[in-house]
Amino acid sequence: MTQSKDIPITPGLKAYIGREISRYHSQPIALSDIRKWAIAVYWPETPPRLYWDADYAKKTRFGGVIAPEDFNPFGWPVEKPKQMDFSDIYAELKKMGNSLNVLNGGGGAQFLTPMRPGDVITSVTIIDDIYYRQGTKWPMSFIIRKTTWTNQKDETVRISTNTQINY
């Protein structure tokens, strides 16, 4: 999707919109992965049983342990997943006078299907949009990444977006 913002982007940048940046799979989610995540994010309180007590979780509407929404199944890979090289994008930004200072512009997520022990999650990230806006001090580029997670049953688990600002 191309949006018209203050400053038109170069054809070189436009060509990256819709491009896939990365695609990788998680290890099968272990019950212990979920338990540890829940302990960390609820520390120092005991986390809700839904995230670690299989007997309790079986009796809920979920039918078993599920992961908290912010759970990251990609932690601790043996090999770091590869992602697209951004040097050409940065070269295009530099052509537009950008100094490549970076800010995290924030993002959001929709949580669809819960993650469960045994799930293998596939993450696909694309460049959803690139635009250029005149800020109060400098022109700023916005690169919007959209990440879709699906499980082994092809159910959509999560859709998230993140904005990278360069100025």
Q: Is 27 in the site for other proteins (CB under 8 A)?
A: yes
Q: Taking the complex as a whole, how short is the minimal distance between the CB of residue 53 and other proteins, in angstroms?
A: 8
Q: Taking the complex as a whole, how short is the minimal distance between the CB of residue 8 and other proteins, in angstroms?
A: 42
Closer by beta carbon to other proteins, 47 or else 114:
47
Q: Binders of other proteins: how many residues, by CB under 8 A?
A: 18
Q: Taking the complex as a whole, how short is the minimal distance between the CB of residue 37 and other proteins, in angstroms?
A: 10
Q: Tell me the two tokens of residue 108.
A: 């959001």
Closer by beta carbon to other proteins, 2 or else 32:
32
Q: Is 163 in the site for other proteins (CB under 8 A)?
A: no
Closer by beta carbon to other proteins, 80 or else 137:
80
Interacting residues with other proteins between 50 and 109 (CB under 8 A): 52, 75-76, 78-79
Q: Is 25 in the site for other proteins (CB under 8 A)?
A: no
- Reduced 3-state DSSP string for the chain: CCCCCCECCCHHHHCCCCCEEEEEECCCCCHHHHHHHHHHHHCCCCCCHHHCCHHHHHCCCCCCCCCCCCCCCCCCCCCCCCCCCCHHHHHHHHHCCCCCCEEEEEEEEEECCCCCCCCCCEEEEEEEEEEEEECCCCEEEEEEEEEEEECCCCCEEEEEEEEEEEC
Q: Which of 9, 16, 33, 66 binds other proteins (CB under 8 A)?
A: 33
Q: Which residues bind other proteins (CB under 8 A)?
A: 27-33, 35-36, 39, 44, 46-47, 52, 75-76, 78-79
